[in-house]
Amino acid sequence: MESHRLLVANWKMNLRPSEEINFVKKHYDRLVNLAKQSNTQIVLCPTFLSIMSIAKNISSNSTNTYLSIGAQDCSTRAIGSFTGQISAACLAEIGCTHVIVGHSEERRAHKESNLQVAHKTIQLLIHGLTPIVCIGESASEKQTSRSKEVLSTQIKTVIDTLNKLSSARRYNLCIAYEPLYAIGSGNVPTTEHLEEIFGHIMRELRNAPSIKNITYLYGGSVNSRQLPMLKKVSKIQGYLVGNASLSFQEMEKMLTSWMVSRSNCISRAEK
Ligand code: 13P
């Protein structure tokens, strides 16, 4: 696929397996068509329980390279007696391509540290999966002008750990900037804040070892109403979407709006 956008649907714990599987069965053809027409790669991240069924559905269609499946978390450990955990190797075996790590809900609920996020990232890279590493500051950190400092610390721990990987292999990574105050609030930061923050994140990752390709995502109240504003931020290459991704109509509107902007681009270039 030529250069494309990424749309990651984080369904969190909102649907039951039957609902997740039905969503994909019902909308599969239309989703793949919309993804093709808008040159978007869609990654669906359902609960762990549905991954296997959905992955089979997706892989049975060999012409589909636009729709893939991801998980919402993984273990820091490779294998062993870790009750309740799921390893990167298991996720790779059942057909995942991407895995979200360091989501603020996980950092908050389970006191997940930057080092644990880095260990999960390593596990995923070793097993050929693309980590979607979430970073973001809280409202009070933003108010006290600490956004960049917090993000730098989150990024530095991951980079330091990546130094331990073999430099012979080159890895893919997604970084999702999800400010905590934007998640589920209906509000997104200003374009000026986003331009500045993404510039900062990109500078911090400029010398990341062993990373071939970094895709920069924004997450936090992304929906079809916010997209026209978000699309103005040139550094954003895709979105990590929560609530809006539970609605097929919202997904359709977002993907359709990219088709419109894509055709605008082409006609401008042809003039
Ligand atoms: P919302 O899109 O519901 O704000 O959630 C964002 C998010 O947490 C995605 O990971």
DSSP secondary structure, 33-47, as one string: HHHHHHTEEEEEE--
Residue to mutate (ligand 1; options 44, 181, 240; most atoms within 8 A of CB) = 240
Q: Whose CA is nearest to atom 9 of ligand 1?
A: 242
- The confidence score (pLDDT) of residue 190 equals 96
**Number of neighbours of residue 56 by Cβ within 10 angstroms:** 12
Higher pLDDT residue, 177 or 170? 177
Q: How far is the CA of 194 from the centre of ligand 1 (A)?
A: 16
- The confidence score (pLDDT) of residue 270 equals 33
Does 200 score more than 70 pLDDT? yes
Q: Are 252 and 30 in contact (CB under 8 A)?
A: yes
Does 264 score more than 50 pLDDT? no
Residue to mutate (ligand 1; options 10, 174, 239; most atoms within 8 A of CB) = 10
Higher pLDDT residue, 170 or 230? 230
Q: For residue 52, report the phi and psi dihedrals to the nearest 5 degrees.
A: -60, -50
Q: How high does pLDDT run on average in the chain?
A: 91
The confidence band for 125, taking pLDDT boundaries of 50, 70 and 90, is very high
Residue 107, token pair as written in the block: 């950092």
- The confidence score (pLDDT) of residue 58 equals 84
CA distances from 143 to 105, 204, 271 (A): 20, 22, 45
For 140-152, the DSSP string reads HHHHTT-HHHHHH
Cα Rg of the chain (Å, integer): 18
Higher pLDDT residue, 19 or 160? 19
- The confidence score (pLDDT) of residue 266 equals 33
- The confidence score (pLDDT) of residue 212 equals 81
Q: Whose CA is nearest to atom 7 of ligand 1?
A: 242
Residue to mutate (ligand 1; options 217, 243, 251, 254; most atoms within 8 A of CB) = 243
Does 267 score more than 90 pLDDT? no
23 burial type by CB count under 10 A (0-12 exposed, 13-18 middle, 19+ buried): buried
pTM of the model: 0.93
**What value does the mean pLDDT take over residues 130-147?**
97
Q: Whose CA is nearest to atom 2 of ligand 1?
A: 242
Tens digits of per-residue pLDDT, 1-15? 445 899 999 999 999
Q: Are 172 and 212 in contact (CB under 8 A)?
A: yes
CA distances from 19 to 47, 99, 139, 250 (A): 11, 21, 34, 17
Atom of ligand 1 nearest to the CA of 184: 4
Q: Are 24 and 69 in contact (CB under 8 A)?
A: no
- The confidence score (pLDDT) of residue 265 equals 39
Name the residues annotated as catalytic: 103, 178
**Number of neighbours of residue 212 by Cβ within 10 angstroms:** 10
Q: How far is the CA of 80 from the centre of ligand 1 (A)?
A: 32
CA distances from 168 to 163, 165, 209, 240 (A): 12, 9, 11, 30
CA proximity to 123, closest of 106, 146, 99: 99
The confidence band for 195, taking pLDDT boundaries of 50, 70 and 90, is very high
Atom of ligand 1 nearest to the CA of 223: 2
- What CATH superfamily is the domain 5-270? Aldolase class I (3.20.20.70)
% pLDDT > 70, the chain: 92
Residue 52, token pair as written in the block: 């296997």
Tens digits of per-residue pLDDT, 86-116? 999 999 999 999 999 999 999 999 999 999 9
- The confidence score (pLDDT) of residue 207 equals 77
Q: How far is the CA of 186 from the centre of ligand 1 (A)?
A: 10
Helix (H) or strand (E) holding 240: strand 238-241
- The confidence score (pLDDT) of residue 170 equals 79
- The confidence score (pLDDT) of residue 211 equals 81
Tens digits of per-residue pLDDT, 21-75? 999 999 999 999 999 999 999 999 999 999 999 999 887 765 678 999 999 999 9
- The confidence score (pLDDT) of residue 225 equals 96
- The confidence score (pLDDT) of residue 62 equals 57
- The confidence score (pLDDT) of residue 161 equals 85
Ligand 1 neighbours, Cβ below 6 Å, are: 10, 103, 178, 183-184, 219-222, 240-244
CA proximity to 125, closest of 136, 134, 117: 117
Tens digits of per-residue pLDDT, 215-242? 999 999 999 999 999 999 999 999 999 9
